[in-house]
A and B are shown apart, each in its own frame.
Chain A
């Protein structure tokens, strides 16, 4: 049971009613959490959004709102869309790297005679990520 006002009501300088929509998700020991969300969405928008969500899902909704608000504060131009964009780039890069590596495997499997020449030129590059673990 939370005694005293929640972080939202403290921030808004109002009485915290027993059925306060914010109190479960914005506890008084983390004032920055509500401050972030309020700065980006505003208290009334957050309240409306939470009210439209079934109670069992409100905690996750509050969490994602906080996450997105933090992204927006850290990156005022792109917010969490910047994160999505970076992930797409990583995805493309990983796909391309995987395709290249699978092609190398196909070459090694098909041309074992020629493999040592190619393998040596790529060997140190391939081995680099494993150095700290493999080479004692």
Chain B
């Protein structure tokens, strides 16, 4: 099938499409835009190097993610995918704050319904105690073990926007 017509990459690069062309399984000739956008952002030789460094069974996913990133970068040349990351982090933080408030409310309701519980250490109507001391836990819980997420949380203050790519 791929032996007769060149893949989208070789068509764009105007070269012969070899039988073992690294691009041909992932950039079929019927979708020229896919390779065009990846080539525009990353460059054919960089994509080739990246694919060569990966086991074959992971290359399709790698191509999909490269296409996604390239599309995001073309749509938003300044922020690329980071715009979406920033937006999602804001959404997650807001939801976790709402969750903290809701869980504090449950505790308050339970304490009001169980007056035998010791309440001398805090005011059961004061929910701000929970929010203030527990938000960092939730933010830490939200962030994955990857260093990238931790760094991207710091970067929120640099970008300070919530646009969606």
The digit string for A43-64, where 1 denotes a CB below 8 A from any CB of B, is 0110001001100010011011
Query: How many A-B Cβ pairs are below 8 Å?
Result: 166
The closest CB in chain A to the CB of B132 belongs to A133
**Residues of chain A lying within 8 A (CB to CB) of residue B91:** 91
Check if B109 sits within 8 Å of A108, measured CB to CB. Answer: yes
Distance in angstroms between the alpha carbons of A97 and B155 in the assembled complex: 27
Check if A133 sits within 8 Å of B81, measured CB to CB. Answer: no
- Choice from A42, A67, A90 contacting B152 with Cβ under 8 Å: A67
Q: Is B123 an interface residue (CB 8 A)?
A: no
Report the minimal beta-carbon distance from A55 to chain B, rounded to whole angstroms.
Answer: 12
Distance in angstroms between the alpha carbons of A95 and B92 in the assembled complex: 9
Check if A91 sits within 8 Å of B61, measured CB to CB. Answer: no
Q: Which of A75-91 contact B (CB under 8 A)?
A: 75-84, 86-88, 90-91
Total interface residues on B, CB under 8 Å, equals 61
Check if A67 sits within 8 Å of B110, measured CB to CB. Answer: no
Report the minimal beta-carbon distance from B78 to chain A, rounded to whole angstroms.
Answer: 5
Also in contact, A45 and B42, with CB within 8 A (given A77-B54, A105-B102): yes
Q: Is A127 an interface residue (CB 8 A)?
A: yes
Also in contact, A94 and B78, with CB within 8 A (given A86-B149, A119-B110): no
- Choice from A74, A105, A136 contacting B105 with Cβ under 8 Å: A105
**Residues of chain B lying within 8 A (CB to CB) of residue A102:** 102
Q: Is A126 an interface residue (CB 8 A)?
A: yes
The closest CB in chain A to the CB of B39 belongs to A45
- Choice from A64, A76, A98 contacting B50 with Cβ under 8 Å: A76
Q: Is B37 an interface residue (CB 8 A)?
A: no
Also in contact, A133 and B133, with CB within 8 A (given A95-B95, A123-B110): yes
Check if A80 sits within 8 Å of B77, measured CB to CB. Answer: no
Interface residues of A (CB under 8 A from B): 39-42, 44-45, 49, 52-53, 57, 60-61, 63-65, 67-68, 70-72, 74-84, 86-88, 90-91, 94-95, 97-98, 101-102, 104-105, 108-109, 112, 115-116, 119, 122-123, 126-127, 129-130, 133-134, 136
- A-B contacts, 29 of them at CB < 8 A, read A45-B41, A49-B41, A60-B78, A64-B78, A65-B80, A67-B151, A67-B152, A74-B148, A75-B148, A77-B58, A77-B62, A78-B62, A78-B65, A81-B65, A82-B65, A84-B81, A94-B95, A94-B99, A94-B142, A95-B95, A102-B102, A105-B109, A116-B114, A122-B106, A126-B103, A129-B103, A133-B133, A134-B122, A136-B121
